[in-house]
Structure 1
Amino acid sequence: MKIKQANAGALTNFEVLDFLRSRGATSDPMGCLGSVAPSECKVFDYLFHSAACNQTRDAVNEFLKRCEKFRLAKAEKLNIINLRPSGQAEIYPIIEHCDKRLTRDEAKGIDQVQELVDLVVEVLPPKPEEIVDDQEMPNETTLEQN
């Protein structure tokens, strides 16, 4: 592989996950022997359990196209794609001066922050569900028996 232009731009977590898949990375530590480094498998495993695992290139491109009206910086778009915020409280820390840049006029029924949240929820797939391991979460009968 030859690097044509170093630091050409930031990648979304989806793009990194897609690249690692193409190299043969898996969540199985035994499957990572050979073609990919152990650190790449750890990154793959982390991203596989993040919002990136359910995203598609079409969904990311559609989000980028439809969010143009909000005039977000590239880094803000990248963070929204990576974090997939699903509420207004999660949007405010991502967008610099959010309260000044995104309009909120209750009289006219305009709330751009909520519009952005709705766009994220509509276009970007949800985060994977957290898997609860039964061994880590003791139930009431186990506690009573002890």
Structure 2
Amino acid sequence: MKILEANAGALTNYEVVDFLRSKGAANDSTRVLAQVSPSEYKVYDYLVQTAACNQTREHINDFVDKCKIYGLAKAEVLNIINIRPTSIIDIYTIIEEGETRFGDETRFGEVSKELAELVEKTLPPPPTDPESEAGINEGKEETENEEHNVETKGEEQTKEGNDDGKEETVVGELMDTS
């Protein structure tokens, strides 16, 4: 991916995920080889848990083409793509002054319902199991203390109180219950 024009406009979450993947965020499980900063990894980790990880350019273009008939602003379309609202109430919060733009409350309700159905049909839903997406956080957990990260690969951290009333971090093996 090559950036042709810097700051040309707002990006969809899909475009951000696509850019970070092109930098190697999805391929580097150790998180040291790719040209991705720690803050970019945090953005990537968040976005792969959203619908953006399942979207394609075709999904987005299809949605944009179909919602042109409603005369929405670019920011409203961008928000709908990024948030993927599936209820009428969520659509109401994204579209500004809908009652005046679409005539009245009834017509705005119809448009909101149509948009929610269009979102359901054209934009894919978020993943059901975010941990399985691209191996994110596979085998890693962060402790409450940000300075002390523990690689767990099949281990679990729990806090237990000892006889002194102080909490200790205990690392134990997970048991296979299958």
After superposition, where does 1:43-58 map in structure 2 within 5 Å?
A: 43-58=43-58
Instruction: Show the counterpart of 1:77.
Output: 77
Instruction: Show the counterpart of 2:21.
Output: 21
Conserved? CA contact 2:91–2:112, under 8 Å: yes
Change over 3 Å in CA distance of 1:50–1:2 after alignment to 2: closer
Structure 1 position 65 matched with structure 2 position 103? no
Q: Which runs of 5+ in 1 are unaligned?
A: 136-146
Q: Which has the higher contact order (CA 8 A, sep 6+)?
A: 1
Conserved? CA contact 1:27–1:41, under 8 Å: no
Instruction: Show the counterpart of 2:38.
Output: 38
Take 1:86 and 1:117, find their aligned partners in 2: how far apart are those partners?
Answer: 5
SS in 1 for 2:30: helix
Q: Which amino acid aligns with 1:113?
A: S
Instruction: Show the counterpart of 2:162.
Output: none
Q: Which amino acid aligns with 1:6?
A: A
Q: Which amino acid aligns with 1:119?
A: L
Conserved? CA contact 2:49–2:130, under 8 Å: no
Q: Which runs of 5+ in 2 are unaligned?
A: 132-155, 157-178
Instruction: Show the counterpart of 1:115.
Output: 114
TM-score norm. by structure 1 comes to: 0.77
Following TM superposition, by how much is the alpha carbon of 1:102 offset from its aligned partner in structure 2, in angstroms? Answer: 3.4
Conserved? CA contact 1:60–1:124, under 8 Å: yes
* Greater C-alpha radius of gyration: 2
How many residue pairs align between the two structures? 131
Following TM superposition, by how much is the alpha carbon of 1:92 offset from its aligned partner in structure 2, in angstroms? Answer: 0.7
Following TM superposition, by how much is the alpha carbon of 1:101 offset from its aligned partner in structure 2, in angstroms? Answer: 2.3
Q: Kindly indicate which of the two structures has a greater share of residues assigned to strand.
A: 2
Change over 3 Å in CA distance of 1:89–1:130 after alignment to 2: farther
Q: Kindly indicate which of the two structures has a greater share of residues assigned to helix.
A: 1
Following TM superposition, by how much is the alpha carbon of 1:111 offset from its aligned partner in structure 2, in angstroms? Answer: 1.3
Conserved? CA contact 1:51–1:128, under 8 Å: yes
Conserved? CA contact 1:27–1:44, under 8 Å: no
Change over 3 Å in CA distance of 1:52–1:101 after alignment to 2: same
Change over 3 Å in CA distance of 1:47–1:104 after alignment to 2: same
Conserved? CA contact 1:60–1:81, under 8 Å: yes
CA RMSD of aligned residues (A): 2.8
Take 1:102 and 1:27, find their aligned partners in 2: how far apart are those partners?
Answer: 46
Take 2:27 and 2:98, find their aligned partners in 1: how far apart are those partners?
Answer: 37
Q: Which amino acid aligns with 2:75?
A: A
SS in 2 for 1:125: coil
SS in 1 for 2:93: coil
